[in-house]
């Protein structure tokens, strides 16, 4: 990690700042957080603001997600709904997943479920499908965000324990 940050710093020497520098800076903020809740979302929003040098609906969506992480689901939803050329995101699964996540966090399970189903229909690989299918199921069960997290991490812990048990037998 230290080597990566050093290289990022060296790449920023000079008078030209590109979108690649900004994307690397955003990635470094994520990498520096030990846990998701330690992420400096304010700094990420500021970096996305700088990325307006190359505006796109994807950059706007990522900024909206960061804003929602920083300020809560309602500001995130509001920001997503104001994306210029947002209709270009209709075929992007993470657009629907972001809407679903913020609706879920707002307690709107039915609306969230429909967004997660739309994302699931567009998912590009088995991991995305599994994640989104679990989100749909959480909405159908009426889970709270906390219950979903406990169920998710409980499954991860069981899988890890089983994997470790398997290694003990080898």
Q: What is the pLDDT of residues 6-25, one digit of tens each?
A: 766 666 666 777 888 888 88
Q: How many CA atoms lie within 13 A of 50 on its CB side?
A: 15
Distance CA 120, CA 136 (A): 9
Six-digit token pair at 126?
């088995």
Top pLDDT among 11 and 81 is at: 81
CA dihedral (88, 94, 100, 101) in degrees, to 10, reads: -140
pTM as predicted: 0.80
Please name the residues in contact with 72: beta carbons below 8 A apart, sequence gap of 6 or more.
105
Nearest to 94 by CA among 69, 125, 67, 116: 116
What is the tens place of the pLDDT at every residue in 109-156? 999 999 999 999 999 999 999 999 999 999 999 887 777 666 666 666
- Which residue carries 């979108």 as its tokens? 19
């Amino acid at each position: 990690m230290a080597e990566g940050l050093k290289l990022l710093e060296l790449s920023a020497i000079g008078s030209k700042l590109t979108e690649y520098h900004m994307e690397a800076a955003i990635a470094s903020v994520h990498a520096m957080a030990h846990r998701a809740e330690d992420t400096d979302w304010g700094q990420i929003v500021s970096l996305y603001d700088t990325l307006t040098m190359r505006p796109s609906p994807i950059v706007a969506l990522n900024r909206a997600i960061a804003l929602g992480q920083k300020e809560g689901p309602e500001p995130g939803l509001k920001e997503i709904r104001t994306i210029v050329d947002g209709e270009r995101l209709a075929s992007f699964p993470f657009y629907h997943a972001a809407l679903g996540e913020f609706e879920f966090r707002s307690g709107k399970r039915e609306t969230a479920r429909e967004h997660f189903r739309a994302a699931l229909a567009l998912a590009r690989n088995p991991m995305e499908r599994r994640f989104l299918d679990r989100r749909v199921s959480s909405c159908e069960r009426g889970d709270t965000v906390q219950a979903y997290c406990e169920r998710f991490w409980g499954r991860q812990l069981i899988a890890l324990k089983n994997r470790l048990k398997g290694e003990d037998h080898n």
